[in-house]
Amino acid sequence: MNTQLGQLSPVAIAFFLAFIGVTLAITYWAARQSKTTAQFYAAGGGISGFQNGLALAGDFMSAASFLGIAGLVATGGYDGLIYSVGYLVGWPVVMFLIAEPLRNLGKYTFADVVAYRLRQKPIKTMAAIGSIVTVIFYLTAQMVGAGTLIKLMFNLEYETALIAVGFLMIAYVLFGGMLATTWVQIIKAVLLIGGATLLTVLVMNRFGWSYGNLFSAVRALPNGANLLDPGQYKVATSPLDLVSLSVGLMFGTAGLPHILMRFYTVPDARAARKSVFVATGFIGFFYILTFTIGYGAAVLVAPQYLAKPAPGTPGFGNNMAAPLLAEILGGGPFLGFLSAVAFATILAVVAGLTLAGASALSHDIYAGVIKGGQSDEKTEVRVAKMATIGLGIVAVLMGLLFKTVNVAFMVGLAFAVAASANFPALLMSILWKKFTTQGAVASMAVGLFSAVLLIVLSPTVWTDVFHFTSTPPVPMKNPALISMSLAFLTGWIVSLVTRDIEAEERFEEQMVRSYLGADKATIASH
């Protein structure tokens, strides 16, 4: 097979320019409606439940989950499905435990909820640190992925690709705020689901519209039995490590700041619920597609093309399974279309992440901590915009710095930190009357610190990044089981030995608002 992958195709460029043109036009339109803090952080609360559902799906389906999971299925088989299931089951948790209290109690960030009846300054400082660390790990993984992908697909220099991504992402967020970011997510979600559906249709058409035929063809491959064998996972070092991975995937979603922030863009709890249902449906459907695409690629794409890229070999790495399959089934134009979609996907996810990071800096740190909640609206938006530029630059620098490092672990780390630093304190602050400021700060600090420390001492960093020859001190690759348990335990114990009378007295008020929602007037002036 002769592939056009890595050559600049006119179709890819045309689709790509069309995407940039449309999204920049939306940004220009949104710029006039991104002046106040409510508009900049939350699109004025005017996004509908269905739109927000698509945008949540857009925020969540990164290029890593499209190309990465399809590639993982193509070369590792069942491993890909472990990730798909784990990423999806976080959504019901968000729905049943987090979405409504978050919508009813907070204003723009999840730190608002944790700080609702606890002391603002220590809580917001610690929650903002948790948010920013999560965002930076996630952002770095996306940027390195972006540079590598764009280099492979468009044959652009890695550095040029990063700077292009950085500029576009800053432009969306800086000028268009949450409104433009939301529409970029929606367009990207539609394109990505549309592209993946089309590719799946072509795969199923090739196999006579029968999964039986597809799996028979997989089984007939030299490594076919392994690809279909659930017990051959390489994503964890032991059964316990697999459980730890699954804990991190499930509860990480409920602690991702850029996901949690989206619940403030809808008018009420009712729309928030609907948006989770819509997002769960689209994301679940999308994972079933990527799984089909992955097995299709295992059969139809010659294995040497999926091998790690090395000079003198035809390998592109398993991330290119879906694009290569697209070219086989739909020719050069379809490859061009999917390449443009992958680029759009990366742009949308980094924009969402940057906005969440900037909000933690401006709303939590600047307005909440430095100004004690008394900030001037215009200044706060200006701080948010400066933070956007700053984070954009940090993202590009991190991408350059970690260029040669395998960053797959960074997404796992982002999920582990979100599940350990952010989720336990958020849940306890909603549910537990006797939760104290000290308990919350200690829980967030222990969750954050233990997740990062455990991963540094694990094989993923100790051996694969630092190249130490000694046995890694922690045998598990996935820290969430331990770090999340520690965070809950710390929050519980510290709250038992401390007392926060004011927080206890305000619990009924929080409860009423959490169940019944705030008055519209109160939300507006709060």
Partner 1 sequence: MNNSPDPVEIVRDPEFQNLARRKNSLSLTLSLLMFGAYFGFIALLAYAPDILRARAGAATLGIPIGIGVIIFAWILTGIYVKWANGAYDAMVARVRGVRGNRQ
Q: Which positions lie near partner 1, rule CB under 8 A?
A: 78, 81-82, 84-86, 88-89, 91-93, 95-97, 100, 211-212, 215-216, 218-219, 228-231, 233, 239-240, 242-243, 246, 250, 269-270, 273-274, 276-277, 280-281, 284, 287-288, 291, 508-509, 511-512, 515-517, 519-520
* 157 C-beta neighbours (distance < 10 Å), count: 12
Contact 180, 173 (CB under 8 A): yes
Least distance to partner 1, CB of residue 510, Å: 8
Nearer to partner 1, 215 or 402 (CB): 215
- Establish how many alpha carbons lie within 13 A of residue 415's alpha carbon, considering only the half-sphere containing its beta carbon: 25
Query: What stretch of H or E contains 259?
Result: helix 257-260
Which sign, positive or negative, has the C-alpha torsion 472, 476, 482, 483? positive
Nearer to partner 1, 154 or 295 (CB): 295
Place of tokens 């729309």: 271
The C-alpha atoms of residue 126 and residue 77 are separated, in whole angstroms, by 40
- Dihedrals phi, psi of 222, to nearest 5 degrees: -55, -40
Contact 123, 437 (CB under 8 A): yes
The C-alpha atoms of residue 388 and residue 386 are separated, in whole angstroms, by 5
Nearer to partner 1, 16 or 488 (CB): 488
Nearer to partner 1, 212 or 312 (CB): 212
CA distances from 12 to 104, 264, 327, 337, 454 (A): 43, 35, 12, 5, 42
Nearer to partner 1, 323 or 479 (CB): 479
Question: How is residue 263 annotated by DSSP?
Answer: G
Contact 448, 130 (CB under 8 A): yes
Question: How is residue 209 annotated by DSSP?
Answer: T
Least distance to partner 1, CB of residue 214, Å: 8
Nearer to partner 1, 89 or 369 (CB): 89
> What single-letter amino acid sits at 36?
T
Nearer to partner 1, 23 or 237 (CB): 237
Nearer to partner 1, 175 or 285 (CB): 285
Least distance to partner 1, CB of residue 40, Å: 27
Least distance to partner 1, CB of residue 511, Å: 6
Contact 244, 451 (CB under 8 A): no
Nearer to partner 1, 1 or 516 (CB): 516
Query: What stretch of H or E contains 376?
Result: none
Nearer to partner 1, 239 or 311 (CB): 239
Place of tokens 């455990």: 454
The C-alpha atoms of residue 320 and residue 375 are separated, in whole angstroms, by 48
Helix %, strand %, coil % of the chain (to 5): 80, 0, 20
Contact 106, 261 (CB under 8 A): no
